[in-house]
Structure 1
């Protein structure tokens, strides 16, 4: 810069990933060439204006093409190795993050499936226990106070027009039913306490 002349260096990078290539049309190349020529022209005129005509004349041309009429080579921007590394690290981090959350989701699904199976088993057991202990089928229930009941029925048949004569039999039947009811309630309470 300034009074020193600089030499043009050529630098070639091999592109390992063809998807990062930027294609530029000939029209864009010609526009860039024109803008570079304008910048060069402004620079040259500026140098001449300041009395540096000799230094500007000694500078090599901006474009050094071997064949006239052929456009100079145009080098496209390629990401540097550090930006490629950063991009690769970001992609790797995203993949790790995706794998982590996929594994978490799969783990949660497995846990929920286990819980569902356990809950269904417990529900089935509870229904079966309820059916066995609470809902006795009529055939399973023992008939209570059968002989006292038979006495009440026989009395009503004998004294169908005078039901008050069967009051003693009815009171005996009521007392029998009450005592059996108390026994059944006590047994159910003891069974429930033992089960819990």
Structure 2
């Protein structure tokens, strides 16, 4: 299985940039770019001009200054993120309101006027007067139903 011994030598050296940083040679970068495997990888971080010394090796007053600088840096980042979040929220809220308005214009603009109100009132009065004998109101109900059916037919013929 492993008859043709293809070997690669990997040398990992610890650098002054810190732990977890692995340097690769230019030839490896070139091979990755040629094969296209490099496209999905994140771009390497830009080198710092001056590496930050480790806080425990600094004198106390410099550590305090370093802590204040870090706090100010992250406060600025937090403020920027809050502003960005507020902008995204406002934009989303405006887009949502616009979408609601479009839907209302498209679907809720067709409010029908009351049809056959006089017949409806007659049915109501009849039911009120004959609450225990509702079948006595069947002529009024038939008139109302007929009126609604006629209005529906007229609406369909106007659209068609």
Structure 2 length-normalised TM: 0.35
Q: Which has the higher helix share?
A: 1
* Higher RCO (CA-CA < 8 Å; seq separation 6+): 1
Structure 1 length-normalised TM: 0.29
Larger radius of gyration: 1
